[in-house]
Amino acid sequence: MLSKGETVELGEITCRVEEHVARGRVGDVYRVKEGEGNLYALKIARDRRGPTLMSLRDEESRTERLARAGLPFARIAARGRDYVLKEWVEGIRGDRWLGEWRKNGRPFPTPETLGLLNLFRRVMLNGLLARDLNPTNLIWSEGCWILVDSDNIRKKGFRRARLEILRAWAEEWADDSEEEKKFGKRLADIPAPEAGIEGKRREL
Ligand SMILES: Nc1ncnc2c1ncn2[C@@H]1O[C@H](COP(=O)(O)OP(=O)(O)O)[C@@H](O)[C@H]1O
Ligand SMILES: [Mg+2]
Mean pLDDT value of segment 76-103: 97
Are residues 192 and 111 part of one domain? yes
Residue in 91, 86, 107, 70 with CA at minimum distance from that of residue 140: 91
CATH of the domain at 122: 1.10.510
Residue 85 in this model has a pLDDT that exceeds 50? yes
- The per-residue pLDDT for 2 is 95
Q: Is residue 83 part of a domain?
A: yes
Are residues 185 and 102 part of one domain? yes
CA distance 157 to 1: 41
Are residues 176 and 146 part of one domain? yes
Domain total for the chain?
2
Protein residue with its CA nearest to atom 23 in ligand 1: 24
- The per-residue pLDDT for 200 is 53
Are residues 156 and 71 part of one domain? no
Q: What is the pLDDT of residues 118-158, one digit of tens each?
A: 999 999 999 988 778 899 999 999 999 999 987 778 888 99
Are residues 139 and 180 part of one domain? yes
- Average pLDDT over all residues of the chain: 92
- The per-residue pLDDT for 204 is 47
Are residues 135 and 115 part of one domain? yes
Are residues 129 and 59 part of one domain? no
**Closest ligand 1 atom to 55 CA:** 21
- The per-residue pLDDT for 44 is 96
Q: Is residue 2 part of a domain?
A: no
Q: What is the pLDDT of residues 158-190, one digit of tens each?
A: 999 999 999 999 999 999 999 999 999 999 999
CATH of the domain at 17: 3.30.200.20
Residue in 107, 197, 202 with CA at minimum distance from that of residue 162: 202
| Distance between Cα 128 and ligand 1 center (Å) | 21
Are residues 130 and 153 part of one domain? yes
Q: Is residue 174 part of a domain?
A: yes
Are residues 156 and 113 part of one domain? yes
Are residues 129 and 151 part of one domain? yes
Model confidence band, residue 6 (pLDDT cutoffs 50, 70, 90): very high
Mean pLDDT value of segment 38-55: 95
Question: Among residues 65, 87, 109, which one ends one of the domains?
Answer: 87
Are residues 132 and 81 part of one domain? no
CA distance 129 to 131: 6
Residue 194 in this model has a pLDDT that exceeds 90? no
- The per-residue pLDDT for 131 is 78
**Closest ligand 1 atom to 136 CA:** 25
**Residues belonging to the chain:** 204
Residue 203 in this model has a pLDDT that exceeds 70? no
What is the percentage of the chain residues whose pLDDT exceeds 70? Answer: 95
The domain in which residue 198 lies consists of 92-203
CA distance 35 to 39: 9
Mean pLDDT value of segment 54-60: 91
- The per-residue pLDDT for 86 is 96
Nearest bound ligand to CA 63?
1
What is the percentage of the chain residues whose pLDDT exceeds 90? Answer: 80
Are residues 11 and 67 part of one domain? yes
Does the bond joining 111 to the residue before it have cis omega, within 30 degrees of 0? no
